[in-house]
Amino acid sequence: MKDLFEKIRANRGPIGMHAKESHGYFTFPKLEGDVSPRMIFRGKERLNWSLNNYLGLANHPEVRKADADAAAQFGLAVPMGARMMSGNSDQHEQLERELSEFVHKPDTILCNFGYQAMVSAIDCLVDRHDVIVYDAESHACILDGVRLHMGKRYVFKHNDIADCEKQLERATKLAETSGGSILVITEGVFGMRGDQGKLKEIVALKKKFNFRLFVDDAHGIGTMGAKGGGTGEEQNCQDGIDIYFGTFAKSFALIGGFISSETQIVEYLRYNMRSQIFAKSLPMPIVVGALKRLELMRNHPEYKANLWKITHALQDGLKKAGFEIGVTNSPVTPVFMNGSIPEATNLIYDLRENFNIFCSMVVYPVVPKGMIILRIIPTAIHSMEDVAYTIECFSKIVGKLKSGQYMAEKIASF
Ligand SMILES: Cc1ncc(COP(=O)(O)O)c(C=O)c1O
């Protein structure tokens, strides 16, 4: 029999196997200084396109003050338990009420982490008689929630409504014999390609099929919809979304998340969702900080307007310069290139060291072999100059990539 540690040492996982060469640079890089488009990476200021700070709230003076004041007033320890046992407060309940209003749902439950909220909510909502139908490119938290499901699941091709319908037909047959129900799960905005989930079309399928729709809108909350209420608001179908998830980790520039739905469903989650009843609730400064961010989002539509101004300039400029950015219709901007992994690492190294631009790179095994994605996340506080400079630099690096320069030289040595 193999020793467990020996087995792990021999296979450290698809990304972990490259840790020795990548740690501290391509993986686990340290970005220092205030959260802004200019941050320090390895001692030097870089133009940063890799922040979960869509509306620029992370370092907003009012946010910093609210966070600091709440930490001074309450400390980081309170409340001292799970919501159900000893971890409730007026502020938690106030935030739930305000979030409900923001996303146009009757009730909301706060969750201590976005990822585990999704996993745990899926686990909690369905039993072994029920059938899950979900999008093939769903985020890991959806996939992990589905993995916990004891009943059947059907996956539909990414954003393919005809296939979704086909899987709903199969699910309906099965649920009719098992006596179960159907839960469809998808995303508001897919974080890798930036395309919106076809929520309106899925909602329309309710005319033909009996199911409930659960939408993970991690990237849509604050960025989409006339008032920032998310992708359902954007597509004018929020009413058809039965269960709505938002994280605090992106537009809110915080940590935690929430799930909104009708009152009885939220109450069911409050009393049954294992990640919330068996874990400590969100610390008070996070809750008070979230209230401040929500107030700013509601009262300053110009933050979202700026985000979109930068997004449009960036995406139009990249397209005009001949770049392939796929099907994004959100701020998430993937730039697709072709090359090997060594070429990709050389390119990123060149971009960071010689052009002082920091963005994320996605390569195999996350995307097919030979594909490189540079993922740009614009924010409300980037400038038009940042956009112009980035497109200019990208044109230079793609020229080098096409002429094979990143293949010939071993640039990346850090
Ligand atoms: C689509 C999606 N769902 C869920 C999460 C997890 O949220 P959190 O970071 O709040 O745990 C993320 C990433 O942050 C995400 O992109």
Q: Which is the closest atom of ligand 1 to the Cα of 189?
A: 1
Q: CA 164 to CA 166: how far, in whole Å?
A: 5
Closest CA relative to residue 31, chosen from 16, 22, 44 = 44
pLDDT higher than threshold 90 for residue 8: yes
CA distances from 212 to 130, 134, 169, 243, 265 (A): 11, 12, 14, 8, 12
Q: CA 113 to CA 95: how far, in whole Å?
A: 15
- Residues carrying CATH 3.90.1150.10, the chain: 4-59+301-407
Q: What DSSP state is assigned to residue 53?
A: -
Fold of domain 4-59+301-407: Aspartate Aminotransferase, domain 1 (3.90.1150)
pTM of the complete model? 0.96
The token pair that represents 89 in the structure block: 């407060």
Give tens-digit pLDDT for 168-199. Answer: 999 999 999 999 999 999 999 999 999 999 99
Tell me the average pLDDT across 98-107.
98
Q: CA 281 to CA 245: how far, in whole Å?
A: 17
Q: Which CATH number fits domain 75-299: 3.40.718.10, 3.40.640.10, 3.40.50.300, 3.40.50.150?
A: 3.40.640.10
Percent of the chain with pLDDT over 70: 98
The pLDDT, as a whole number, for residue 408 is: 63
Give tens-digit pLDDT for 287-333. Answer: 999 999 999 999 999 999 999 999 999 999 999 999 999 999 999 99
Contact between residue 210 and residue 180 where contact means Cβ atoms under 8 Å apart: no
Spell 346-376 as b/e; 16+ CB within 10 A means b: bbbbbbbbebbbbbebebeeeeeeeebbbbb
Whether residue 195 has its Cβ less than 6 Å from ligand 1: no
Ligand 1 center to residue 245 CA distance, Å? 10
- Residues carrying CATH 3.40.640.10, the chain: 75-299
Whether residue 39 has its Cβ less than 6 Å from ligand 1: no
Q: CA 80 to CA 248: how far, in whole Å?
A: 21
Q: CA 84 to CA 81: how far, in whole Å?
A: 8
Ligand 1 center to residue 218 CA distance, Å? 6
Distance of CA 123 to the CA centre of its chain: 20
Best mutation site among 247, 286, 293 for ligand 1 pocket (most ligand atoms within 8 Å of CB): 247
Whether residue 275 has its Cβ less than 6 Å from ligand 1: no
Give tens-digit pLDDT for 332-391. Answer: 999 999 999 889 999 999 999 999 999 999 988 888 899 999 999 999 999 999 999 999
Q: Which is the closest atom of ligand 1 to the Cα of 117?
A: 11
